[in-house]
Structure 1
């Protein structure tokens, strides 16, 4: 049988890289076969995202449709409280040890959420392997999203080896550690003590020698740090606008700010960003977040 579904068309030479990223996101629709289109592959995905179009796919024979979930290392995070579906997910991948259901939204000054274990081991601790980097993560004590893995690679490709970088809300360090081989020096900051402890361990795991971990409130950085930065990462989607002024005071002339935010309309923060002194702004939708809300990134030239 064939069905029409959203598909993401990519060059075949990048196929495995994209497939792994889609699997981490829980976005790859495993009930359909991948399309081969000349020198391109078309991956069936669960929902519309940047770069997708509608394609006709063939069914994957014998494949059981699994509930929607996101993979974070050996943990699957489900969208619904579905113990039976959790058992099916756990049985589908030998690498999984736990299936969780979030009982709250990401909230509080430490950006954490509560989880219920639906299947597997009673833990929120796991290790993530992402593009050759390894991260220890305790999801109950620090925020982490595998869905930003391609974003981290995109920023890394833009980073030059003479740049000083500030990661204002680093968490366990995925942006900082991904950029470390490309940058001269990185200051990785977070307010969450447990996240910073995991950051320090992850710096050691990945042998990153040019990252300075810092336990601090981002609003105090402009009076604390003696440097201006060539590139600033602002991944605080729920409250990042509160720190835009600080970022503009910490960026050097000609630098770049990557500001991530949840938005409900196109161009939601554009006027505010230009008011602060941007010379050029590009807005991109990274992924859908909830009905009527999207996770967007603003690439800001200053």
Structure 2
């Protein structure tokens, strides 16, 4: 029996992106199935948000409660070391190949974690498909977060055609290869040799011929003689702010820097930003990282004192 619920009508071409964004914001009502309606898709929402209307939806059949987990391609990362729950999770999703449990936090200069295999194939490697792009990932060798897929699309939408882009902490290439769809040139740098090896593979996999991989410490990039960049990505949440002065030096006047950082209070890194540029700054919460800590992004317009 159909039930009436608040929903948003979105164009079909935007439906998947809007669905992901609503899911990240906690507004997608997962009790009901999205419903196509002509050239639009009706997405059920949990409350009366702007633009919402009442429509009837088919309820999603109740399923056995699954353990908390994060999906990365064909791998599920559980938050608890529970092999029985892992086997149940593996059986619930035909696309899953492996269930892992992190035995360590993200650590070291290469931002890696150690994992135990709780169920399925004994591997930490998988392929992630994101907005038509494909990324081969090895979670034990290089950090990757599928949760930033919507954020990557947001930055792409705000870009101009032909921009010169620098990704200072590129990892296996999700930001660099996504932004290559509009950029004239992307320099994708990382300190981790295993990450750069996968980055080179992913560049070829996606035919991103305008992405140049660089094995380098971000703090030394200003020594390589690059022309100023239009846009710089700084996605190293635990340490990116310490490289901000280098990024400003590499960015053209009027260019943009997207600084991703973990913080415990709103505006925590504004004083550090103001110490190196006077340009406009917009702060956004990306997601909750842990109790009392948030993953935030500062969108910075660079204004240089000597310009």
Match of 1:245 in 2: 245
In the TM superposition, residue 68 of structure 1 has moved relative to its aligned partner by 1.8
Give the SS at the match of 2:285: strand
In the TM superposition, residue 8 of structure 1 has moved relative to its aligned partner by 9.3
How do residues 21-60 of structure 1 correspond to structure 2 at under 5 angstroms? 32-34=31-33, 41-42=42-43, 60=60
Match of 1:11 in 2: 10
Match of 1:147 in 2: 147
**How many pairs does the alignment contain?**
292
Question: In the aligned structure 2, how far is the partner of 1:263 from the partner of 1:106?
Answer: 16
Match of 1:81 in 2: 81
Change (3 A) 1:266 1:40: farther
Q: Please list the CA deviations of residues 209-247 of structure 1 after superposition, one character each: whole Å capped at 9, or x if unmatched.
A: 111100000000111133110000000000011100100
Give the SS at the match of 2:199: helix
Change (3 A) 1:44 1:241: same
Task: Indicate conservation of the 8 Å contact 2:8/2:45, yes or no.
Answer: no
Structure number with greater Rg is: 2
Match of 1:285 in 2: 285
Question: In the aligned structure 2, how far is the partner of 1:261 from the partner of 1:68?
Answer: 24
Q: Please list the CA deviations of residues 235-278 of structure 1 after superposition, one character each: whole Å capped at 9, or x if unmatched.
A: 00000111001001000000000000001111111121112113
How do residues 58-137 of structure 1 correspond to structure 2 at under 5 angstroms? 60-137=60-137
Task: Indicate conservation of the 8 Å contact 1:176/1:211, yes or no.
Answer: yes
Q: Structure with the greater relative contact order (CA < 8 A, sep ≥ 6): 1 or 2?
A: 1
Change (3 A) 1:19 1:199: same
Q: Please list the CA deviations of residues 3-42 of structure 1 after superposition, one character each: whole Å capped at 9, or x if unmatched.
A: xxxx99673633333446788x7x8988622577x97745
Change (3 A) 1:224 1:16: closer
Task: Indicate conservation of the 8 Å contact 2:74/2:97, yes or no.
Answer: yes
Question: In the aligned structure 2, how far is the partner of 1:187 from the partner of 1:73?
Answer: 25
Task: Indicate conservation of the 8 Å contact 1:34/1:41, yes or no.
Answer: no
Question: Which sections of structure 2, spanning at least 5 residues, go unmatched?
Answer: 1-5, 51-56, 303-307
Give the SS at the match of 1:111: coil
TM-score, with length taken from structure 1? 0.87
Task: Indicate conservation of the 8 Å contact 2:19/2:28, yes or no.
Answer: no
Question: In the aligned structure 1, how far is the partner of 2:238 from the partner of 2:291?
Answer: 16
In the TM superposition, residue 69 of structure 1 has moved relative to its aligned partner by 1.2
Match of 2:226 in 1: 226
Question: In the aligned structure 2, how far is the partner of 1:102 from the partner of 1:28?
Answer: 28
Q: Please list the CA deviations of residues 155-194 of structure 1 after superposition, one character each: whole Å capped at 9, or x if unmatched.
A: 1111222210000000000000001110000100000000
Structure 1: 4+ residue segments shifted above 6 A: 27-31
Match of 1:171 in 2: 171
Cα RMSD of the aligned pairs, angstroms, is 3.2
Give the SS at the match of 2:95: coil
Question: Which sections of structure 1, spanning at least 5 residues, go unmatched?
Answer: 1-6, 46-50, 52-56
In the TM superposition, residue 125 of structure 1 has moved relative to its aligned partner by 0.4
TM-score, with length taken from structure 2? 0.85
Question: In the aligned structure 2, how far is the partner of 1:22 from the partner of 1:107?
Answer: 31
Question: In the aligned structure 2, how far is the partner of 1:10 from the partner of 1:273?
Answer: 39
